[in-house]
Amino acid sequence: MVREDGTTACRRLESFVTSRPFPGLVELDAGEVAAAVLGAAQACLAVEGPVTAVGVTNQRGTTVVWDATTGEPVGPALSWQDLRTAGACLELQREGLRLAPNESATKLAWLLDDADPGRHRDLRFGTLDSWVTWVLTEGRSHVTDVSNAAVSGLLPTEDILAGRADIAWSDSRLERFRIPSTCMPALVGSSEVVGEATALPGAPPVAGLVGDQQGSLLGQGCVNEGDAKATFGTGAFLDLNVGGRPPAFGATEKRGEQGCLPIVAWQRSGTCTWGAEALVLSAGTAVQWLVDDLGLISSPDESAEVAARCTDTGDVYFVPALMGLGTPQWDFGARSLFIGMSTGTGRPELVRAVLRGVAQRGADMLAAVEADSGHKVPVLRVDGGMSANEVFLRELADACQVPLHVSAELEATSLGAAYLAGLATGIWSSEQEVAGLVAPRLVVEPGPDSRRDRWKEAVSRSVRWIPELSALQF
């Protein structure tokens, strides 16, 4: 819950299980997600009382299909990380249709083929924003916003890039995947009232919908062209506000020369704000790997204390490529490595090397976004779970060579959703007013850095380790 001054009044976290039944398959139980959302919201309302409006932010691309009458999911929710449709995406490339397995289109087709091959049932599709809004409004609102829809693979690319306010689902793509139009959510703005959350006490209006990284961009006050933020969670994302037009590379290519993606940041009153995005596939995942698989630390929080026992890694480098490399390489066949170890290498050096490796990947993202967007970033705003780790922040500032403004709220994605809901209901009058509420809890100035050349050499050893996967391009 967020107060009018932008501070957090109540925070409640609920967990649910992510299932990985086979390599490359990542599933969620949509019913558990719904229960977690309702539980967290009701707990906060019980403590702090009624709210003016509700905002929803979510993992983009995670796909749910449910029965329109019963409201029950007809299969697992397929995570944005799920790769079961990678083969289908490669087949589509031969037809001239370039889609990635993290987009919703092929996931939706897979779920429909599994649950309703004849297309006789009355089913509904949504990413998690749609599903949560359906649950909150008890089936009265079936909607999604453009920040989520634009990465579904089911919108006409030319209409998005033209900035049209009357964007509609692509009839040709729905036909190609045998998706009934009745299955699709209505397209709405990121900041408008779309229904009443009758599942919650007081039935407050649902008035903000936004993808997680776009929510973080607004939540950190990046409302001006050239403002940038980085979120370090399980993966890592660096997003830069490019203003009212798509980035120049977005008019012709799916990615820029340095591997960045054009995104719709949010849409208000029919006008889109655009961004350029870079991403890292393994960030906090690499720290969790130290806990779960190597046993070097007992929890992610312990990484800062152990890493601080050494002032340097002794020229040891770790490349966090547990799932391949995203921006700028886009090499799904790259794999992680430690390099430079000797008899003097101990536990602190290995743990610090992992934190340093994620930080260096942050610098890779920053360089790529600057190159593809044409903007020089003077200050990088940072949030996400890893932003609580001060050893990591020091490594990140040194690698990026820019000051870091660390968010007072680890989950700035939620702030962005709250701001959009408040803008729709008159709590705040403008994006500039929202930006004025944001102040960092910590500023980290960069120190000298002489490691980028060595880092790039380490990366060169990790790429193309599995040539068959390295050949995949989406």
State the DSSP string of 339-390. ES--TT--HHHHHHHHHHHHHHHHHHHHHHHHHHH----S-EEEESGGGG-H
Residue 446's CB: how many other CB atoms inside 10 A?
16
- Two tokens, residue 111: 């779920």
Q: Domain 18-211, CATH 3.30.420.40 — does that match?
A: yes
* Domain boundaries, given as residue ranges, for the chain: 18-211, 220-407+439-474
Residue 60's CB: how many other CB atoms inside 10 A?
24
Element at 261 (helix H, strand E): strand 261-268
| pLDDT attached to residue 162 | 64
Rounded Cα gap, residues 284 and 317, in angstroms: 17
Count the residues in the chain.
474
| pLDDT attached to residue 247 | 86
pTM: 0.93
| pLDDT attached to residue 250 | 64
| pLDDT attached to residue 427 | 97
Q: Please identify every stretch of the chain with a pLDDT value under 50, giving residue numbers as ranges.
A: none
Q: In 246-293, which ranges are continuous DSSP H helix?
A: 284-292
Antiparallel, parallel or unpaired: β 380-383 and 404-407: parallel
The topology under which CATH files domain 220-407+439-474 is: Nucleotidyltransferase; domain 5 (3.30.420)
- Two tokens, residue 464: 């193309």
Same fold, 18-211 and 220-407+439-474: yes
Contact 77, 107 (CB under 8 A): no
Q: pLDDT of 151-198, one tens digit each? A: 899 998 676 666 666 789 999 999 999 999 999 999 999 999 999 999
Q: In 220-295, which ranges are continuous DSSP H helix?
A: 284-292
| pLDDT attached to residue 246 | 86
| pLDDT attached to residue 252 | 54
Antiparallel, parallel or unpaired: β 54-58 and 18-19: unpaired
User: Which residues 6+ apart lie within 8 Å of 141 measured at CB?
Assistant: 133, 134, 194, 195, 206
Rounded Cα gap, residues 100 and 90, in angstroms: 9
First-to-last C-alpha distance (Å) of the chain: 38
| pLDDT attached to residue 15 | 82
What residues are paired with 322 via a beta bridge? Answer: 324
Contact 384, 413 (CB under 8 A): no
Residue 248's CB: how many other CB atoms inside 10 A?
15
- Two tokens, residue 213: 């990284």
